[in-house]
Amino acid sequence: MLKAAEVKRKDVLSQNIFAVTKGLESAITTEHYSRYDGLLQRLDPRVKLATFAVLTAAVSFTESLAVLAVMLILVPLPGILSGIRPGFLLKRILLFIPVFTAVIAIPALFITKGDPLLSVGGHTIVTVQGAKTAAFLVLRVTDSLSLGALLVLTTPWTKLLATFRWFRIPSLFVSILSMTYRYIFVLLHTVNNMFLARKSRTPGTLTAKENRKWLGHTLAATMVKSLHISEQVYSAMLSRGYRDDRLTITRFKLHHRDLLWLLFASTVLTLSVWTG
Amino acid sequence: MVNLYRKGVLAVFIVKHSSKEYGTMHIPDGYISPATAGIMYGAAAPFWFIAAKKVRKSLSGRTIPVVALFASFSFVLMMFNIPMPGGTTGHAVGGTLLAIAAGPWAAVIGISVVLAIQALFFGDGGVMAFGANSFNMAIILPLVGYYVYRTVSGSSSPQSARRLFAAAAGSWIAIVTAALLTGIELGIQPLLFHSADGTPLYCPYGPGIAIPSMAVGHMFIAGPAEAIVTGLVLAYLFKTGFVPAADQEQSGGTGRLHLLWAGLGLVALLTPIGLLASGTAWGEWGVTELQELGLGFVPDGINRLAGWWPAPLPDYGFPRMGAVVGYILSTIAGVGAVAAMLWALGKTLLAKGRRSEA
Amino acid sequence: MSDRRIDSIFEAVDLSYDYPGGVPALSNVTFSIRPGETVALLGANGAGKSTLLKLLDGLIFPHNGTLNAFGLALSEESMNNPDRVLEFRSSVGLVFQDPDVQLFSPTVWEEVLFAPLQAGLERQEVINRGEQALELMGIEHLRNRAPYLLSSGEKKKVAISSVLSLRPDVLLLDEPSAGLDPFSQGKLIDFLVEWTGNDHCIVFSTQDLDMVEELATRVLILGQDHTLIADGPPDRFLSDPDFLLEANLVHAHSHRHKNLVHSHIHTHRHSHRHDS
């Protein structure tokens, strides 16, 4: 996540340039990993999506801290076997949201009512229940994030979209999802150029009010541009005979490794249900 | 009083750590129970269904490129840091802007799609919680914003200052409504879902903390950021002669629907008040503390109900049906009372607006 | 279209089109384009070149006058007939000036398959056409790439491939050489020259007089008043500097050679030599 470093930057324009650049970078890295020839990348995307969805649900349902802790260790393993640098995975999963959640969870240590865990001079400071609820929150968030990040990092976007279609997610949504992702990049590039052009023309710093006004104009111009692009895209679709958004070429084929993976995932699931 | 003070400090702490980021209202997985997540998917589904139908009808073949490009725009908008008066920066959702510019149903689908991308690629908002996040930010937010805009605009001339005001007001109300809803969804977690020894399994903060901390952050940072962005962008678009979708519809044709949604917006806005009352009645604090909190009015019904509500059944982590029914009843009662108040207020405002037009 | 004997591909009589708000884009344009022709569409910015190409592609319809394609009217009513649309779209392809609006799919491969899929062809035929279209532009290696990760030259090639997979008889190109480096421009011209054999027809708009000279068999020039001011073989106009100047296709300007300031006509043509 890009937020942590960004907060330090004082000037709003630089903050925005930073956010946009980071967004573009992150997508390119994701794209890079998803094309790598690794364990998870080789799985049938339907099997992968289904197992990851079920495991995410298990993380949500379980009432056992042990299961959540085991998952925390277990989930990143296949990712590392899939060619994803552990450092990158840690940064991607652990930075920001779990840290943020941990901060959010701190007060729960002290205010949750229950049995004393830490007492000073007869006053209960931390309760067992408080410690447990904080752990639940942080572990659940981290486990879910790891699962989501692994899925996206090891599945090319286009295969993920085809899988959504296969799971009968309405074509209208999948098509819009696909096109939205595509044009985010076009708009980000446009916006980035507008920011840089502004930066090159602004020797001093602007007041917050001037900045707001300028940002408003940038956004409005971007909106007008997006309207214009949508008209053009529609023409380009019509020009090539657009009739139906349900047509797709992708076909899936199951392999032995998919069955092995299913076996592994169901074992993890059974264990978590059995213990939790 | 010590308790109250502690709660205040806590709320400030949580607000401070949540308002800075645009993921504030994005509920990650782990904060809400699977049951809540499932219910929220269920609540969102009919809106998605209606939205798909309406959008296909109004945009026909253009649906995909138009909604997709609006969604891409909204993604970019959410990324922006908006400099706020006072030196901080805030993030906008752009839901009301989108609902005004593209129509409420296009906004419903567009923002849902943006939330899906944020959840998948950036971990902003969970996959299980996607239904809840969509319901708060992609459904209630644009619909409330849109109908406030339409109502406050009244019969004012297109591209007038009053419409800009209406848009800004709609944006603020919509984002605060969505934040309150989020606060409720988080706040009911420790009441409904905890283990046998009383450990909250999901969000550990009850409504008394979750609701005010969501509300305050959004009233003072995200809400104004949203209002500023909507106002600035629409002002620019008005100058270029752009006619937003919200102004293209004939007001006569959608009158009934309009009322229906205004009603829904009110319900959404008011639910937290009922819940705050009922939540605390069940929770750690009694009715007297609720009054200390500044909520002077506690409906008599709630006082009486408080007596016979059974406590949530600890062994299973689920409440008895009675508690749920009580909660719903008290919500309805609270909603009814304040709905009437707001309705009267709206009437006066509208009448004033019409006078100023004439 | 090969089964029907046709004398003209496009037949425009008194064609007029206004932008929303009544600003004229084209006024009373009359011409006819025959099979095998390569027509260059010239004119200053805003003369109506892109509008004319969109009219020829049946994306917008004339406000006045008539336009026939393959001997049948190209009108809003006729384009409501699905069979006619399928036939027309399979015969005519438009390459947009901005490849970003044309590349709306998540990968190059899906982009190239879009048109054949929408045309309802069989799976194997769709794949064959896609592969051939990539091969024609020499971009097989880009197959699994996402459009946002391509350079502008690569985007242009994918845009052309995405139209070639239709196997059209007529190729409409809006500023095909814009944004390409000289090497890629040369490759593009080579490809188009080769493609124009077999009664294929090309209509392209351009600002590049070199491209006109190397490719066009005929030139249509739109004036500032949005009327057709010239129609004929390219050498007749390209060798008439006064005419080019008048049509705003070239400009006179002053510049400095060492200490000598002089004025001359600038054609934006690069010098070149013939090897054979």
Distance to chain A for C5, nearest Cα, Å: 24
Q: Which of A93, A152, A176 sits opposite B109 (nearest CB)?
A: A176
Whichever domain contains B149, its CATH number is 1.10.1760.20
Q: What is the pLDDT of residue C41?
A: 93
Q: What is the dihedral of CA C118, C122, C128, C131, to 10 degrees?
A: 30
Place of tokens 């004082």: A10
Rounded CA gap, C69 and C32, in Å? 10
Query: Nearest to residue B212, comparing CAs of B7, B17, B5, B2?
Result: B7
Q: Tens digit of pLDDT for each residue in B158-186? A: 788 899 999 999 999 999 999 999 989 99
| Residue C267 pLDDT > 70 | no
Q: Residue C92 in contact with residue C58, Cβ under 8 Å? A: yes
- Of the listed ranges A219-228, B75-84, C138-147, the least confidently predicted one is B75-84
Check residues A104 and C264 and name the one with the higher pLDDT.
A104
Q: Tens digit of pLDDT for each residue in A159-191? A: 899 899 888 888 899 999 999 999 998 898 888
Q: What is the pLDDT of residue B269?
A: 52
| Structural domain boundaries, residue C43 | 10-266
**A136-146: burial string, b at 16+ Cβ within 10 Å, e else:** bbbbbbbbbbb
Interface partners of chain B (CB pairs < 8 Å, 3 or more) are A
| Residue C49 pLDDT > 70 | yes
Check residues B261 and A207 and name the one with the higher pLDDT.
A207
| Residue B91 pLDDT > 50 | yes
State how far Cα C231 lies from the chain centre.
Answer: 17
Q: Tens digit of pLDDT for each residue in B35-86? A: 899 999 999 999 999 999 999 888 888 889 999 999 999 999 988 877 777 6
Q: What is the pLDDT of residue A211?
A: 80
Averaged pLDDT score across all residues of chain C: 85
Assign residue C62 a region (left: φ > 0; alpha: ψ between -120 and 50; beta: otherwise): beta
C273 found inside a domain? no
| Residue A271 pLDDT > 60 | yes
Q: Residue C48 in contact with residue C16, Cβ under 8 Å? A: no
- Of the listed ranges B160-164, B193-197, B347-351, the least confidently predicted one is B347-351
Which residues 16-45 of A have a C-beta within 8 angstroms of C? 27-28, 31, 35
How confident is the model over B124-139, as a mean pLDDT? 93
Which residues 130-189 of B have a C-beta within 8 angstroms of A? none
| Structural domain boundaries, residue B197 | 2-255
ipTM: 0.88
Give the best residue of A112, A230, A238, A244 to mutate against chain B (max B CB count within 10 A): A230
C101/A158 CB distance under 8 A: no
Query: Considering only CB atoms, which residues of chain C are within 8 Å of chain A?
Result: 54, 57, 59, 82, 85-86, 89-90, 93-94, 96, 98, 100-107, 109-110, 113-115, 117-119, 123, 126-127, 144, 146-149, 162-163, 166
B262 found inside a domain? no
Residues with Cβ within 8 Å of B241's Cβ and at least 6 positions away in sequence, in order, are none
Whichever domain contains C174, its CATH number is 3.40.50.300
Q: Residue B333 in contact with residue B301, Cβ under 8 Å? A: yes
Percent of chain C with pLDDT over 90: 43
Q: What is the dihedral of CA B19, B25, B31, B36, to 10 degrees?
A: 150
How confident is the model over B343-354, as a mean pLDDT? 50
B229: contact with A, CB 8 A cutoff = yes
Q: What is the pLDDT of residue B67?
A: 93
Averaged pLDDT score across all residues of chain B: 73
Check residues A195 and C14 and name the one with the higher pLDDT.
C14
Q: Residue A241 in contact with residue C120, Cβ under 8 Å? A: no
C233 found inside a domain? yes
C274 found inside a domain? no
Q: Decide: helix, strand or coil at residue C121.
A: coil
Quick one: pLDDT band at residue A121, thresholds 50, 70, 90? confident
B161-187 vs B141-153: helix axis angle to the nearest 10?
Answer: 150
Residues with Cβ within 8 Å of B239's Cβ and at least 6 positions away in sequence, in order, are none
Q: Which of A27, A182, A249 sits opposite C113 (nearest CB)?
A: A249
B135 found inside a domain? yes
Interface partners of chain C (CB pairs < 8 Å, 3 or more) are A
B336: contact with A, CB 8 A cutoff = no
Percent of chain B with pLDDT over 90: 32
C229 found inside a domain? yes
| Residue B311 pLDDT > 90 | no
B260 found inside a domain? no
C215 found inside a domain? yes
Residues with Cβ within 8 Å of B37's Cβ and at least 6 positions away in sequence, in order, are A60, B126, B128, B129, B131, B132
A53/B127 CB distance under 8 A: yes
- Of the listed ranges A241-255, B317-331, C154-168, the least confidently predicted one is B317-331
Quick one: pLDDT band at residue B13, thresholds 50, 70, 90? low
B304 found inside a domain? no
Number of domains composing chain C: 1
Number of domains composing chain B: 1
Distance to chain A for C156, nearest Cα, Å: 14
- DSSP assignment of A259-270, as one string? HHHHHHHHHHHH
| Residue C31 pLDDT > 90 | yes
